[in-house]
Amino acid sequence: MTPTNASAADASFDFALLQQSAARTGSRNRRALWWLLGLLALLLGSVATLVLYLNNFEAEEAARRRAADAQWLEQSVQFHFRRLEDDLLVLARQAVQQSAGLGGPLSDPAQDLKAGLLWREPGVILSSGWIGAGQLNDPRVGPERWPVDWDAHPENAQSLALMQSTSRGLRRAAYAGLMLDQGGVASDVVWLAVPFFDRGQFTGNYLVAISLSRALRALLPGWFMQDHSVELLTTETMEAVETVYRAGLNLPGTDLFVRVALTQEQPATVPRIFFLVALVFLSGMLVSLYALRRDILKRQQVQALLQAQVALRTAMENSVTIGLRAWDLGGKILYVNDAFCRMVGFSAAELIGRSIPFPYWPAEQIDALQRVHDGIMLQGTSGEGVEVQFQHSDGHLVDVLIHEAPLNTAEGEQIGWMSSVLDISERKRGQRMAAQQQEKLEASGRLVAVGEVASTLAHELNQPLGALISFANGLLNRLNDGNIDLVELLPVVARMAQLAERAGGIIQRVNAFARKRELSPQRLDMVALLQRVLVLFDDEKTTIPAWALPDQPVWVEVDELLFEHLVNNLVGNAQDWAPHGGQRAQVWVGLRVDQHQGMAVLSVADTGPGVSDEARATIFNAFVSSKEGGMGMGLAICRSIVEAHHGSIEVSRDPLLGGACFTVKLPLAKPRTR
């Protein structure tokens, strides 16, 4: 045996160890055999039961047919009599219009092609006519047969009068009958009264006498009469006739019924055919029992293998640390493994069946997670997966990486998604720590130059500035004593003291910034701040800057002293270089708002020689200066201040003045909420 075949045999043997349930299949086989024998007995009993059932089926089928025929007859009679009532309503309207002189003569119902079957069938309508509202109680006025039936018997008069009052009071058609002759014998004649109302006012009844026997012959088709006999019944005759298959005519004002009986019984061929087919099928089932027995044995073998595979899959799922989750296209969770439950702190019973928003979604991130969920529903996840945050049941957040794969049926139809969820909290924590360390290193590198220069400036300039303040205070004291002309010297000395104090404050602030102390940002209007700073450059010995500032406030969050230091450095640098450009020295300061980027843009331009392309790469480095006697720290400090406020600074050539143009971009402050 080759090594490959040996390993395959070992693997098969090891996998077969999971099929320990095969030893218990013998008892299940015996139980299955008893079930098959019971099924055979059930089939034989079914044959006997089917024979007995067919004996009763024909009788029940005949009864059902008579009941159905009676119901059909009842509905057909109701339909045609309702149609007759509609035809009478049309004739009533014509009679009213004719009496008012608004219409022509009444149309002949026999010639009216739109009339119902009862109008068109000869001999059904025995008499018809119109009675106005003022002539209802006069038996002499009415159709031709009306006075005859009225006077034939007192019950006729009572029924006809009740019919007219009912039609008028209930505003619907009413019937009366059967009509009695002088001897009290009932005929097949009934009267129908259809009221007509004009603008809510009763105007009269349209009356017709109907022969019910002829009406039934007209309504029943020939194919129906071949197999049925129909008899008109009243409440008196119905008691004498023993029948249960009758149809009510439902004519308001009458108690008339129709008895329906079958004259020719049709043999029930369908049950007999069904019995033969059932026997064939039962015979086939006996043959199938043997095939079923063999199939059960094969299925038990497959079931044992499937159980072993399920056990192996369950062990694999329990051993992995990656969370597994299955959910359908509607967002309902179908399955989760133990690793996923441990990851989110909920049990499988708490998660399966839940729909979005899921209980492990953080409340403040539901909208963002909903968008991620919608994106997965459209196109799944890319090869890198999707990074989101879940919330553990105890409240702490868990960073996870999700990969999705379509969940398909055996036919290839997608029914949902299968997710693998990896806990990346430790990796994200390490990335955040590395980013913080990098940010601290970059901040330290940017501030090292500021620290060196700030320390030097603080040490070298504090003593001269202190002496300047003392000199200014002594000069003010002499002025107060009257030894010097107060009008000439007091404004100058006061300005010297103000500038000296401000210079000392700037130096202290830069020194504190260089020693890594926290900034003191505050919400400031750049327009007002620039106006206050630029006014201080009103000196006849230097180039006075011109500026263009917006009319509306521009709010930013900056450290006021550092921002003043930034503006002073940029404007002072522009004043130093403006006279060296070969034209009249000019300095221009501009401010605008870039709403698209959310930035306030400050520009300082001059008419100097500008900055060459080679120098732009190093102009903001420490100790790099092209100015005679310069230390090369001014622009480096400016860059450090701007970057400390999360902004940017760059230099270019100004298209109008021709010199350098320094552009500073600072983030706009967030609007205040009430």
Please state the three-class secondary structure of 367-396 as a single string: HHHHHHHHHHHHHCCCCCCEEEEEECCCCC
On the question of pLDDT at 441 being above 70, the answer is no
Res. 3 pLDDT band, cuts 50 70 90: very low
Contact 634, 571 (CB under 8 A): no
Is 594 or 517 the better-scoring residue by pLDDT? Answer: 594
Polymer length in residues for the chain: 674
| Tokens standing for residue 561 | 């002293």
What is the model's pLDDT at position 19? 47
- DSSP assigned state of 616: H
Packed helices 425-481 and 486-514: angle between N→C axes, nearest 10 degrees = 160
Please give the Cα distance from 191 to 208 (Å, whole number): 6
| Tokens standing for residue 224 | 């129906």
What is the model's pLDDT at position 661? 93
For the segment 641-657, the average pLDDT, to the nearest whole number, is 89
Q: Where are the domains of the chain?
A: 85-228, 269-319, 320-423, 426-518, 521-674
Please give the Cα distance from 652 to 635 (Å, whole number): 14
The percentage of the chain sitting over the pLDDT mark of 70, rounded to a whole number, equals 74
Res. 589 pLDDT band, cuts 50 70 90: very high
| Tokens standing for residue 518 | 């926290």
Res. 421 pLDDT band, cuts 50 70 90: confident
Please give the Cα distance from 341 to 362 (Å, whole number): 16
For the segment 341-367, the average pLDDT, to the nearest whole number, is 86
Is 351 or 384 the better-scoring residue by pLDDT? Answer: 351
On the question of pLDDT at 298 being above 90, the answer is no
Average pLDDT of every residue of the chain: 76
Look at residues 503, 604, 593, 508 and name the one whose alpha carbon lies nearest to residue 552.
Answer: 593
CATH H-level superfamily of 320-423: PAS domain (3.30.450.20)
Res. 601 pLDDT band, cuts 50 70 90: very high
- Of 247-256, 422-431, 528-537, 560-569, the one with minimum mean pLDDT is 247-256
Is 326 or 471 the better-scoring residue by pLDDT? Answer: 326
Identity of residue 492: V
Q: Where are the alpha helices (DSSP H) in 482-525?
A: 486-514
Contact 226, 264 (CB under 8 A): yes
Identity of residue 445: G
Would you tell me which CATH number, out of the four given (3.30.1300, 3.10.510, 3.30.420, 3.30.450), belongs to the domain 85-228?
A: 3.30.450
Is 132 or 240 the better-scoring residue by pLDDT? Answer: 132
Give the burial class of 176: count Cβ atoms within 10 A of its Cβ; 0-12 exposed, 13-18 middle, 19 or more buried: buried
From first CA to last CA, the distance across the chain in angstroms is: 84
What is the model's pLDDT at position 13? 37
Is 227 or 169 the better-scoring residue by pLDDT? Answer: 169
Q: Is 423 left (phi over 0), alpha (psi -120 to 50) or beta?
A: beta
For the segment 342-369, the average pLDDT, to the nearest whole number, is 86
CA atoms within 13 A on the CB side of 363: 2
> For residue 324, what are the CA distances in angstroms to 73, 359, 413?
67, 16, 21
Contact 66, 260 (CB under 8 A): yes
Res. 21 pLDDT band, cuts 50 70 90: very low
What is the model's pLDDT at position 239? 55
Res. 35 pLDDT band, cuts 50 70 90: confident
| Fold that domain 426-518 belongs to in CATH | Helix Hairpins (1.10.287)
Look at residues 407, 449, 437 and name the one whose alpha carbon lies nearest to residue 625.
Answer: 449
The 10 Å Cβ neighbour count of residue 58 is 15
Domains 85-228 and 320-423 fall in the same CATH topology: yes
Residues 652-664: pLDDT tens digits?
Answer: 999 888 898 999 9
On the question of pLDDT at 415 being above 60, the answer is yes
Contact 326, 418 (CB under 8 A): yes
Give the burial class of 298: count Cβ atoms within 10 A of its Cβ; 0-12 exposed, 13-18 middle, 19 or more buried: exposed
Residues 449-466: pLDDT tens digits?
Answer: 555 555 545 544 554 566
| Fold that domain 521-674 belongs to in CATH | Heat Shock Protein 90 (3.30.565)
Q: Rounded to 5 degrees, what are φ and ψ at 589?
A: -120, 125
Q: Where are the alpha helices (DSSP H) in 385-483?
A: 425-481
- Of 4-18, 328-342, 355-369, 408-422, the one with minimum mean pLDDT is 4-18
What is the model's pLDDT at position 215? 83
What is the model's pLDDT at position 337? 86
Please give the Cα distance from 106 to 362 (Å, whole number): 83
For the segment 349-366, the average pLDDT, to the nearest whole number, is 86
On the question of pLDDT at 599 being above 90, the answer is yes
CA dihedral over 429, 432, 434, 440, signed as positive or negative: negative
Res. 556 pLDDT band, cuts 50 70 90: very high
- What's the predicted TM-score (pTM) here? 0.35
Look at residues 592, 595, 578, 598 and name the one whose alpha carbon lies nearest to residue 658.
Answer: 578
